[in-house]
A = this chain, B = another copy of it.
Amino acid sequence: MARARTGPEPQYLKVKNHLREGIARGHWVAGDLLPSEAALSLEFGLSRMTVNRALRELHQEGLVQRVQGVGSFVAQLERISATLTVRDVHEEIQQRGHRHEARVHRLTSVAASPAQAALLDVAPGQTLFHSLIVHMENGVVIQCEERLVNPQCAPDYLAQDFTRTTPTHYLLQVAPLSEARWSIESTLPSAQEARLLHIERSEPCLVLRRTTYSRGLAVTWVKLTHPGSRYFLQGSFQA
């Protein structure tokens, strides 16, 4: 997807880069007023629409603050944002050129406890699917995946072979993703998790919890537990 144009650099990108570099070099600092669309149109000899696109995209990227009737300003970068991408384990491991294996420790239906019911926003006692799967990279356990699934959204969940596909992959096919809420924390593993991950109960774990919604319904809740010594998240932020 990276831009692979053969032709010359688009004009709107020239404007974007001009402003981006000016900001990066400190020519304009946070809070400064940038040239207006009209001024940039003249300076670059472009139509206003083209300049507008450059400024609009910088705004979408959070680098520029725009106020109708006033002007465009360099944004206060008090927050540092980055895109956190949570990939499907299978895909992530394969991309590293490694071998992925999964062991299904549990795949059953349960009557929702009050706590479980709250996670998926259903009534206590309602039937839910519950799975517990351990994922291995080249034979080493790196993730323990405990999951609750709303049967309404994926009635055939229990019939899947999760040594051949992953719950994430299956559920995304069955129920198009519309929203997700997640959290990341650091905790000690439960006795069961320690056993499944082959670690001591004293080894810290990176835990990712996520609830996924489709068409306004909570489809699934998942807790992904990783040994802290074998897993971390990373990313970068540009501009």
Q: Which residues of B contact A236 (CB under 8 A)?
A: 179-182
Looking at the complex, which one of B176, B186, B202 makes contact with A26 (CB distance below 8 Å)? B176
Q: Does A108 contact B (CB under 8 A)?
A: no
Whether A232 lies near B83 (C-beta < 8 A) is: no
Whether B234 lies near A206 (C-beta < 8 A) is: no
Given contacts A24-B178, A176-B23, A186-B186, contact A85 B79 (CB under 8 A): yes
Q: Which residues of B contact A215 (CB under 8 A)?
A: 24-26
The bracket for how many chain A residues form the interface is 35 or more
Which positions 150-204 of chain A face chain B at CB distance < 8 Å?
A: 168-169, 172-173, 175-188, 202, 204
Given contacts A185-B228, A228-B185, A232-B183, contact A77 B238 (CB under 8 A): no
Q: Does A69 contact B (CB under 8 A)?
A: no
Q: Does A121 contact B (CB under 8 A)?
A: no
Taking CB as reference atom, which chain B residue is nearest A26? Answer: B176
Q: Does A233 contact B (CB under 8 A)?
A: yes
A15-53 vs B, Cβ < 8 Å mask (1 yes, 0 no): 000000001111001100000000000000000010000
Q: Does A141 contact B (CB under 8 A)?
A: no
Q: Does A115 contact B (CB under 8 A)?
A: no
Given contacts A78-B87, A178-B24, contact A204 B233 (CB under 8 A): no
Given contacts A178-B239, A187-B204, A234-B183, contact A85 B78 (CB under 8 A): no
Taking CB as reference atom, which chain B residue is nearest A180? Answer: B237
Q: Does A80 contact B (CB under 8 A)?
A: yes
Whether A204 lies near B180 (C-beta < 8 A) is: no
By CB atoms of chain B within 10 A, which of A26, A168, A173, A186 has the most?
Answer: A186
Q: Does A84 contact B (CB under 8 A)?
A: yes
Q: 6 A-B Cβ contacts within 8 A?
A: A82-B182, A179-B236, A184-B206, A186-B206, A186-B207, A202-B202
A residues near B (Cβ < 8 Å) are 1, 23-26, 29-30, 49, 57, 60, 65, 77-88, 91, 168-169, 172-173, 175-188, 202, 204-207, 210, 212, 214-215, 226, 228, 231-239
